[in-house]
């Protein structure tokens, strides 16, 4: 009997093999109450939502470099495709990164501060070597958004342009991610993020599917939005 069970285990693999990484952050915008942000990562996808499976969510197709923001009430999928960032650095552009070890927070913990033109734009506490694939997926998400962020910056009146936003989302993407997973983040505008927990959980393929009957809207205009015939109920099978 034991031989038969062992052979079946070897043929089928362990039942817990299909898994995903979950990160739970407490985010807060200035003047607003804190809220939960859940990030789910597989080798193919990244999903961002509020922790509730049935609410709106965002999916990054990591290979295609396509973001799909699923809006249930309007039955729409807002799509953004990665593109080339064709935006020169401003004439005045001095970037400085300060890194400080934090042994009290752990052996590989660091405080990473980013300055642009001597203004502190962001500060993060990171830990090296934890969940490297999740860190890579978060960087891919920011890189996919970069061209759209650059277009938004160009369309902003010069007097309202923010060098820190330009650095964090276009020209200096992922500075803190080079140092590992963010435990805490604070931006110059008061926006903050704090890691509550991370874990490996059972994979739920349905969380990475995009409804086939929702209208597609491509926000960057780089190519037609995928319709039901092209993308369909795409996601993990």
* Spatial distance between the Cα atoms of 78 and 170, rounded to a whole number of angstroms: 20
Could you tell me what percent of the chain has a pLDDT over 70? 85
Per residue of the chain (237 residues), give pLDDT as tens.
334 333 333 334 444 469 999 999 999 999 999 999 999 999 999 999 999 999 999 999 999 999 999 999 999 999 999 999 988 899 999 999 999 999 999 889 999 999 999 999 999 999 999 999 999 999 999 999 999 999 999 999 999 999 999 999 999 998 999 999 999 999 999 999 999 999 999 999 999 999 999 999 998 654 444 443 333 444 443
> Burial of 40 by CB count in 10 Å (0-12 exposed, 13-18 middle, 19+ buried)?
buried
Task: Scan for tokens 């593109």, then name that residue.
Answer: 83
* Spatial distance between the Cα atoms of 79 and 220, rounded to a whole number of angstroms: 8
pTM: 0.85
Q: What is the pLDDT of residue 11?
A: 39
Torsion angle of alpha carbons 173, 85, 133, 111, nearest 10°? 0
Q: Quickly list H helices, the chain.
A: 2-12, 132-155, 163-166
* Spatial distance between the Cα atoms of 169 and 149, rounded to a whole number of angstroms: 7
For β-strands 45-49 and 19-28, DSSP reports them as unpaired
Q: 29: part of which helix (H) or strand (E)?
A: none
Tokens at 10, concatenated: 């070897």
Tokens at 166, concatenated: 């330009």
């Amino acid at each position: 009997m034991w031989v038969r069970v062992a052979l079946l285990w070897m043929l089928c693999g362990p039942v817990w093999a299909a898994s995903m990484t979950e990160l739970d952050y407490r985010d807060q915008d200035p003047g607003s109450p804190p809220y939960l942000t859940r990030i789910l990562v597989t080798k193919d996808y990244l999903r961002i939502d509020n922790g509730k499976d049935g609410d709106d969510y965002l999916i990054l197709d990591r290979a295609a470099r396509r973001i799909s923001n699923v809006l249930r009430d309007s039955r729409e999928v807002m799509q953004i495709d990665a593109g080339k960032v064709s935006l020169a650095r401003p004439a005045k552009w001095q970037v400085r990164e300060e890194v400080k070890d934090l042994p009290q927070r752990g052996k590989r913990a660091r405080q990473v501060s980013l300055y642009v033109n001597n203004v502190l734009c962001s500060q993060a506490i990171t830990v090296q070597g934890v969940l490297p694939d999740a860190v890579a997926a978060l960087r891919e998400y920011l890189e996919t958004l970069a061209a759209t962020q650059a277009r938004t910056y160009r369309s902003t009146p010069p007097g309202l342009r923010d060098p820190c936003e330009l650095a964090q989302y276009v020209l200096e993407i992922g500075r803190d991610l080079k140092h590992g997973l963010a435990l805490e983040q604070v931006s110059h505008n008061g926006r903050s993020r704090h890691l509550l927990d991370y874990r490996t959980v059972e994979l739920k393929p349905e969380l990475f599917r995009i409804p086939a009957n929702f209208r597609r809207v491509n926000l960057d205009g780089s190519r037609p939005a995928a319709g039901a015939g092209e993308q369909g109920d795409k996601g993990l099978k």
